[in-house]
Amino acid sequence: MPELPDITVYVERIAERTKGKVLEAIRFASPFVLRTAVPPIKDVFGKRVVDIGRLGKRVVFYFEDDFILVVHLMVAGRFKWEARGAKIPGKLGLAAFDFETGTLILTEASSKKRASIHLVRGKDALREFDRGGLEVMDASREAIVWALTRERHTLKRALTDPTILSGIGNAYSDEILHAAKLSPMKLTSAMTDEEWTRLVDATKRVLAERTEVLRRESKDGFPERVTAFREDMAVHGRYGKPCPVCGTRVQRIVYADNETNYCPTCQTGGKLLADRSLSRLLREDWPRSLDELEEKRPALAALPANPARSTKPAKKP
Q: What is the CA radius of gyration of the chain?
A: 22
**pLDDT exceeds 50 at position 17:** yes
Show contacts of 296-304: CB within 8 Å, 24+ apart.
Answer: 303/278
Segment 239-250 shows an average pLDDT of 96
Confidence label for 229 from pLDDT (cuts 50, 70 and 90): confident
Confidence label for 286 from pLDDT (cuts 50, 70 and 90): very low
Confidence label for 288 from pLDDT (cuts 50, 70 and 90): low
**Global pTM?**
0.86
**pLDDT exceeds 70 at position 295:** no
Nearest-angstrom CA–CA distance, 83 and 298: 53
Segment 212-236 shows an average pLDDT of 90
**Can you give the pLDDT at residue 140?**
97
Domains and CATH numbers, the chain: 4-129 (3.20.190.10), 133-273 (1.10.8.50)
H or E element in which residue 46 lies: none
- Tell me the DSSP string of 175-219: HHHHHHT--TT-BGGG--HHHHHHHHHHHHHHHHHHHHHHHHHTT
**Can you give the pLDDT at residue 225?**
82
**Can you give the pLDDT at residue 141?**
97
**Can you give the pLDDT at residue 227?**
83
| Mean pLDDT, the chain, whole residue set | 89
**Can you give the pLDDT at residue 119?**
98
Annotate 128-139 with b (16+ C-beta within 10 A) or e (fewer): eeeeebbebeeb
**Can you give the pLDDT at residue 258?**
81
| Runs of H (alpha helix) within the chain | 4-18, 123-126, 141-148, 155-160, 170-180, 193-217, 264-267, 276-282, 290-301
Identify any residues that bridge with 118 across adjacent strands, giving them in sequence order: 70
Q: What is the torsional sign of CA 150, 156, 160, 161?
A: negative
* Lowest-confidence pick of 56-60, 163-167, 258-262, 287-291: 287-291
**pLDDT exceeds 80 at position 57:** yes
**Can you give the pLDDT at residue 301?**
53
Nearest-angstrom CA–CA distance, 77 and 146: 32
Nearest-angstrom CA–CA distance, 42 and 286: 58
**Can you give the pLDDT at residue 219?**
87
Residue with more model confidence, 314 or 71 = 71
Inter-residue contact 89 to 103 (CB < 8 Å): no
**pLDDT exceeds 70 at position 240:** yes
Please report, to the nearest 10 degrees, the dihedral formed by the alpha carbons of residues 201, 207, 209, 211 taken in order.
-160
Confidence label for 317 from pLDDT (cuts 50, 70 and 90): very low
Render pLDDT for 121-171 as a digit per residue (tens, 0 to 9).
999 999 999 999 999 999 999 999 999 999 999 999 999 999 999 999 999
Segment 292-303 shows an average pLDDT of 51
**Can you give the pLDDT at residue 311?**
41
**pLDDT exceeds 60 at position 269:** yes
Nearest-angstrom CA–CA distance, 2 and 59: 11
**Can you give the pLDDT at residue 234?**
97
pLDDT more than 70, % of the chain: 86
Render pLDDT for 79-112 as a digit per residue (tens, 0 to 9).
999 999 999 999 899 999 999 999 999 999 988 8
> How would you classify the pairing of strands 58-63 and 116-121?
unpaired
**pLDDT exceeds 90 at position 200:** yes
